[in-house]
Structures are given as C-alpha cells and as structure tokens.
Amino acid sequence: MTAENSNDANVITEQIDSEDEKWKAVFEVARALRGNGKIPEAETQYLKIITEAPENFQSISLLSLGEMLSSTDRKDSARRYLLQLVKLLQKKPELDPKRDQLEKAVTLIARIYGDQGRYEEAENWAKTYLNRLNPEASEDSPFVKELRRILKRRYY
C-alpha cells in the first residue's frame, strides 16, 4: 500500500470495514508519508487520527506527530502535541502500561526545551518524570539516560 498524498489515503481507508483496521491503515499511511519527507501530508493524517480515532490510536499519533515536528522548526507545535499526550496518558494510564510513550514524550519535551535554550524547563521535565511520573523507570532506557544527562548539565 502506498499513498502519494492525502486523497490516496482517503480512498484506501474508505475501503476498509473494520474500525481498528481503518485507523491502522491511516497510521501506516501517515508513517509512509513521513518516511517520504511529506511532512504536511503526514501531519494531516496524524491529525485525522487524533481528532477522530479511538484513544489508543490518538496516543501513538500524538507521539509520532510530536516526534516528527520536533526535528523541524515547529518545535513549539511538537511540544504542544507531546503535552497533550502526557495529559492523555495521565488520565488514561492503561493506554501505555509500560510507560514507553510517556517516557519518550517527556524526553522529547525536555530535549525541545534544551534545544530552545530553556534549560530550566528541560531540567524540570526530567525531574518530574524521574521523581514523580515514573520513579521506577529503568536506568537501561536510552530515554532515562538522556534525562539523567539533562539533569547533569548546568547551562544557566
């Protein structure tokens, strides 16, 4: 399945009967568009999922969209989507039982703040995650390691 643009995605997904399969297909289309460097088209598909799909699809799409935009000049938008994800996962922790999405979202938020020179906010997010949101986080996680590095930096 390939999608050259959002219209192709709509044609593909309209032919799917199962609601879950439909949203999986939309997500895969978004990933394919992102992989082909079609960021605006991928964003459109992620936003469709975020606004219309069940929460389990919303959470992974918020993370994917935030991650995608964090590597562009739209870091503030990325951070907003990631904050929306953190709020959703705090309200519905069953969507992320291993806290993988939460860990990655918080790390991306801290990284964005650091990239913007807002080191105190970056440090606050690292502390909040490690001390309050997930004090049992595995020290082997690359995200936990990055958060620990953020806490060791003193730029301000």
Give CA separation, 150 vs 84, 113, 121, 146, in Å: 22, 10, 10, 6
pLDDT tens column, 88-140? 999 999 999 999 999 999 999 999 999 999 999 999 999 999 888 888 888 88
Element (H, E) at 124: helix 119-128
Indicate if the pLDDT at residue 12 is higher than 60. Answer: no
Element (H, E) at 156: none
pLDDT computed for residue 1 by the predictor: 45
Tokens, residue 132? 């309050």
Domains and CATH numbers, the chain: 4-153 (1.25.40.10)
pLDDT computed for residue 7 by the predictor: 61
| 29 touches 13 (CB < 8 A) | yes
Q: What is the pTM of this model?
A: 0.83
Tokens, residue 99? 């806290």
Indicate if the pLDDT at residue 11 is higher than 70. Answer: no
Element (H, E) at 155: none
Mean pLDDT for the chain? 89
